[in-house]
Amino acid sequence: MKPDPADLAERVLAGDQLALARLLTLIENERSEGHAAQSILYPHAGNAHLIGITGAPGTGKSTLVNRLAKEFRNTEGSGRGNSPEIDVRVAVVAVDPSSPFTGGAILGDRIRMRDLSGDPGIFIRSMASRGALGGLALTTADVVEVLDAAGYGVILIETVGAGQAEVEIARTAHTTVVIDAPGLGDDVQAIKAGILEIADILVVNKSDLPGADHTLQSLRTALSLGYPSKVQAQSDPSAQAEEPLWESPVLPIVATSGEGIAKLAEAIRNHRAFMEKTGVWRIRDRERVATQMEDLLRNRLAVQFHHRLPEGRYETLFKEVLARKMGPRDAVQRLIEEESG
């Protein structure tokens, strides 16, 4: 039976988690019914605090996200006062493009599921597929948007900060938390990857292990070296000062025991208050929507273009580029001319 978008949307708004899971699967599979339901839900989104959690493989992201979800439930949720207004529901989105190969994240999610399954105020979703046409970043944005509309006030997005795509996903959050851990070798590596620049909050997880102090120190030093240029950019009127200055804290944490998690939750709340006060919240929302629309447009146009090309034409030119008979720019130019001429 074909799912009815209006019915699905209504059930999602009513808090039906099965309907929500079903809708997310439709969206991941790029089904038109899914996107139709998403359109109905869109006006209801825009309230959630999107928090990206990123870091190298094995730094303890999943363990930390698990703890953090519970912390948000306990301090902002039903545990504090009896007012239902502050009963914040938490969603977790685990993005792992490598999961078909490693299987690691899937196991991790099972552990997490069992751990959090007692609380109906927590919803967990693993991004299994890249999406045939949309790409991982676009599909993740869709999933997050639906969770937002479904009333999840805090959305934690776990990505392995290994590639550009994952960094992009983290960047679209309001608050980006970068996780480091001792024993990963060269700490400066993280800085090279541009990870430090996107961190609103830095965490040194596994602070129970030797070398944690060293990691903490080198991150703090690297950050303090980064500050002068940031400050300068802001006092220089000719420079494009996009955002007011926020000093990213560096927090030691032991995710396995929960040590430091309350401080992390507090830092996240502080960052939210800072964004609301300074207008950064709106700036980031704007950037996210701008990127999303631009990506969608590019994607749709490319897909349409490919459909219009004669069978095999693209592949023929691609081979010529590989054989260095023609540059990629010339090949694309030729395709466009052929198609329009």
Ligand X SMILES: Nc1nc2c(ncn2[C@@H]2O[C@H](COP(=O)(O)OP(=O)(O)OP(=O)(O)O)[C@@H](O)[C@H]2O)c(=O)[nH]1
Among 175, 205, 215, 218, binds ligand X (CB under 6 A): 205
Looking at the Cβ atoms of 61 and 271, the one nearer to ligand X is 61
Q: How far apart are the first and last CA of the chain?
A: 44
> Any contact of residue 167 with ligand X (CB under 6 A)?
no
Residues 103, 155, 226: CA angle, nearest 5 degrees: 90
Choice between 26 and 268, CB closer to ligand X: 268
* Torsion sign across C-alpha atoms 69, 71, 72, 76: positive
Tokens describing residue 222 = 């690297």
Site string for ligand X, 94-133 (x = CB under 6 A): ----------xx--x-------------------------
Q: Positive or negative CA dihedral for 326, 330, 333, 334?
A: negative
Considering the complex, state which of residue 15 and residue 100 has its C-beta at the smaller distance from ligand X. Answer: 100
Site string for Mg ion, 68-107 (x = CB under 5 A): ----------------------------------------
DSSP state string for 85-133 = GG--EEEEEEE-TTHHHH-HHHHHHHHHHHHHTT-TTEEEEEE----TT
Tokens of 332: 């694309």
Site for ligand X in 28-67 (CB under 6 A): 57-63
Element (H, E) at 195: helix 195-198
Using Cβ positions, the residue closest to ligand X within the complex turns out to be 60
Task: Decide if residue 260 touches ligand X (CB under 6 A).
Answer: no
Q: Is 60 in the site for Mg ion (CB under 5 A)?
A: no
Binding site for ligand X (CB under 6 A): 57-63, 104-105, 108, 160, 205-206, 208-209, 254-256
Binding site for Mg ion (CB under 5 A): 61-62, 108
